[in-house]
């Protein structure tokens, strides 16, 4: 059985109280930088993977941690995780080389 915990920030007037300080929120320039980084990452990497998934079903459960991180991680770390663990399990349905299940 999977245990889940829901974190709901406390509302205090016009402010929300949580364990995220305003100094860790993204300002517009950082949001833009990270958004461009993600688009570049996808554009650079999507062509480098075979169309069908290259792993057996259930592989991802074995490599994921038991829970999400309690503290924010840099976008660079997230993209490393996606490249290492997620991309190889994708089937690229929108690829011009995907011919459904015909060979």
Query: Does the pLDDT of residue 21 top 80, yes or no?
Result: no
Domains of the chain by range and CATH?
Answer: 26-103 (1.20.1340.10)
| pLDDT reading at 100 higher than 50 | yes
Terminal C-alpha separation, the chain: 40
C-alpha 34/C-alpha 90 separation (Å) is 23
Task: State phi, psi for 15 to the nearest 5 degrees.
Answer: -110, 150
**Spatial CA neighbour of 41 closest among 91, 95, 86, 93:** 86
Q: Rounded mean pLDDT of 26-33?
A: 92
pLDDT digits (tens, 9 = 90+) for 40-71: 998 888 777 788 888 999 999 999 889 988 99
Which of 16-20, 24-28, 52-56, 64-68 is predicted with the least confidence, judged by mean pLDDT? 16-20
- pLDDT at 16 > cutoff 50: no
């Amino acid at each position: 059985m999977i245990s889940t915990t829901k974190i709901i920030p406390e509302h205090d007037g016009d402010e929300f109280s949580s364990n995220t300080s305003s100094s860790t929120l993204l300002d517009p320039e950082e949001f833009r930088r990270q958004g461009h980084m993600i688009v570049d990452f996808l554009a650079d990497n999507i062509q480098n993977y075979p169309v069908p998934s290259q792993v057996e079903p259930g592989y991802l459960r074995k490599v994921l941690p038991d829970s999400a991180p309690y503290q924010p991680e840099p976008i660079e770390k997230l993209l490393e995780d996606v490249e290492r663990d997620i991309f190889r399990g994708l089937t690229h349905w929108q690829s011009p080389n995907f011919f459904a299940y015909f060979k």
